[in-house]
Structures are given as C-alpha cells and as structure tokens.
C-alpha cells in the first residue's frame, strides 16, 4: 500500500527537504502573478527575484490556486493520500483540493483521500505533515488517522510579524501614509491566526527586541507551550529568525525551534523580513 502526503506550496517545506522513507510527499504549487510575469511556487523559485519583481511593479500582484485536476493527479499516485492546504479563508486552494479528491474518487473509488484545512500556513503545515508521516507509517484505520490529524490541527497556533507593508498598500488593505509612517518609525505589526483561519492583528511593537518579546508573550497567552515544537519561517531574514529563536527558547518551555526559509506564497504575504511562527 502506497501512502502520500500532499500539500499546497504555502507549507514552506520543499520537496527536496522531505525525508519520507516509505511515505511519498508532493507540493502542488500556487502561481504568483506580478505584472506580466508569472512565478510558479516550486522548489526552483528564486525568492529574491520574486521580491524584486514585486517591489518594482506598481500594480498589485496576485496569486492563483492550483487546479482541481492538479490535486487529482497527485492523489491518483497513491492508495492513501492526506492533503493539507492553506486556510480556506485566505485562498480557494482548499476548495480546489476537495474538488480534486472528488475527481480522483470518480476514477478510483477504492482510494482513501483526506483533505484537511490547516486554517493556517507555513510552519503549522510543516508540523501537520510531520505528524501525518508518523501516523501513516504506524498504519491503522485511515479515518482514525484523519481524525487524529484534525484534533492536532485544532491545537496548533500561528502568529507572524511584518515590517514591510508594500504588498498591503498595493492591494488596498493599508493606506500608503500609514504604511510609510509605520516603516519610518520602525513599528512591526504582530498578528495571529484565529481558530477559523482568519487573520487577527494582535498589536504593534516598536523595535526588534520589543517585537520579539511581544511575540513570545502572545505565544504563551495562546496556549501552553510546554514541550511544543516550533517552526519559524523567515522571508530573507535569517538573522532576525535566529534572534527570535533565542527569545523563544529563553521565554518559553518549548521543545525545539527550527528555522525554514519562506517559499513563494508565504514570501508574497510576509514580504521581506517577515517572520511566521507555527507552534
């Protein structure tokens, strides 16, 4: 029996970085449209090139979710497939994956396919992928595995901080004057994901150190972090990620903090120097 984990490309885990053993793994890429240029969010995407194109383009950039057929093709390659997507409240990717499941089952009704809305992105999806691998390797009833993953998803949290607001301004979600003021004052926006998968602005902090302290305070308030595994994703900001990791390890009783570079979709939203924490 072949088992496979499928994710859209917002998970920040590259296919080349997955050691699945007997479990297969595939990311189904989203597309990013910047002016007349289209970027495919696969392992080969040059993130600095994408960010440079977005900075030069005066009009708003956009994203496009994968087609149902792309998900169906991926599901057809295994007997058991578990798929994780970016929050359904942020993208149509979840709906595309559900439609892909239906297409695959029409042709192969014997297959077992589960699609789970992560209600998040980035690191939280990496944690879900890792848990799915453990459960699939252990075997057992497929519906029970999916139920365990849904419970695990509900226990995960995501928060992030931004200091580049160009994309928000171009998409009409922030007034240019406010964005310029925040940037000039060194103010960082701190936000988290709600249980429904929407974005909630939790606060603002001025300066790097106060921002990191505010993030760990938010993490500690949102759940008991004892023994938690933390995935910290950064958009071209490894120094900042390393400092935040030190702050998390100093302030919270977590088990570990791993650092990953953002892929294209999360770079599109976080912009340069953005940090996304899944735990």
For the segment 174-200, the average pLDDT, to the nearest whole number, is 68
pLDDT at site 19 = 83
| H or E segment to which residue 93 belongs | helix 93-107
Separation between Cα atoms, residue 87 and residue 43, nearest integer Å: 21
According to CATH, where is 3.40.50.10440 located in the chain?
Answer: 3-30+65-155
Could you identify the residue written with the tokens 């699939």?
136
pLDDT at site 165 = 62
Could you identify the residue written with the tokens 């892909």?
100
More confident residue, 164 or 276: 276
Q: Is the pLDDT of residue 188 over 60?
A: yes
According to CATH, where is 3.30.1180.10 located in the chain?
Answer: 158-278
Q: Is the pLDDT of residue 28 over 50?
A: yes
Q: Looking at residue 226, what DSSP letter applies?
A: T
The pTM for the full model equals 0.92
pLDDT category, 60, cuts 50, 70, 90?
A: confident
> Looking at the domain covering 158-278, what would its CATH class be?
alpha beta
For 33-42, 54-63, 122-131, 166-175, which range has the lowest pLDDT when averaged over its residues? 166-175
pLDDT digits (tens, 9 = 90+) for 74-88: 999 999 999 999 999
pLDDT at site 185 = 52
Q: Is the pLDDT of residue 20 over 90?
A: no
Close Cβ partners of 109 (under 8 Å, ≥ 6 residues apart): none
Q: Is the pLDDT of residue 207 over 80?
A: yes
Tell me the CATH architecture of domain 3-30+65-155: 3-Layer(aba) Sandwich (3.40)
| H or E segment to which residue 135 belongs | helix 123-138
pLDDT category, 184, cuts 50, 70, 90?
A: low
| Positive or negative: CA dihedral 49, 94, 101, 152 | positive
| Phi, then psi, of 26 in degrees rounded to 5 | -145, 140
| Average pLDDT for the chain | 91
Closest by Cα among 15, 42, 84 to 264 = 42
| H or E segment to which residue 66 belongs | none
pLDDT at site 178 = 47
Helix, strand, coil fractions of the chain, as percent rounded to 5: 45, 25, 30
Close Cβ partners of 138 (under 8 Å, ≥ 6 residues apart): none
């Amino acid at each position: 029996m072949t088992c496979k984990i499928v994710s859209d490309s917002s998970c920040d885990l590259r296919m080349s970085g997955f050691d699945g053993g007997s479990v297969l793994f595939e990311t189904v890429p989203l597309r990013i449209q910047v002016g007349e240029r289209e970027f495919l969010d696969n392992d080969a995407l040059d993130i600095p090139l994408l960010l440079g194109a977005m900075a030069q383009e005066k009009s708003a950039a956009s994203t496009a979710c994968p087609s149902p057929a792309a998900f169906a093709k991926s599901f057809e390659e295994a007997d058991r497939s578990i798929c994780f997507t970016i929050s359904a409240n942020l993208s149509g990717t979840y709906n595309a994956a559900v439609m892909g499941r239906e297409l695959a089952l029409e042709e192969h009704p014997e297959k077992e396919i589960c699609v789970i809305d992560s209600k998040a992105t980035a690191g939280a999806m990496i944690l879900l992928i890792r848990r799915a691998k453990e459960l699939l390797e252990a075997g057992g009833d497929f519906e029970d595995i999916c139920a365990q993953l849904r419970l695990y998803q509900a226990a995960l949290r995501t928060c992030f901080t931004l200091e580049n607001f160009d994309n928000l301004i171009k998409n009409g979600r922030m007034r240019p004057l406010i964005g310029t003021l925040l940037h000039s004052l060194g103010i960082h926006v701190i936000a988290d994901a709600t249980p429904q998968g929407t974005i909630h602005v939790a606060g603002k902090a001025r300066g790097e150190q106060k921002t990191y302290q505010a993030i760990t305070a938010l993490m500690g308030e949102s759940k008991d972090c004892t023994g938690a595994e933390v995935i910290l994703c950064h958009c071209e900001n490894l120094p900042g990620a390393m400092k935040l990791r030190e702050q998390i390890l100093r302030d919270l009783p977590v088990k570990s903090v791993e650092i990953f570079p953002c892929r294209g979709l999360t770079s599109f939203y976080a912009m340069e120097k953005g940090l996304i924490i899944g735990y």
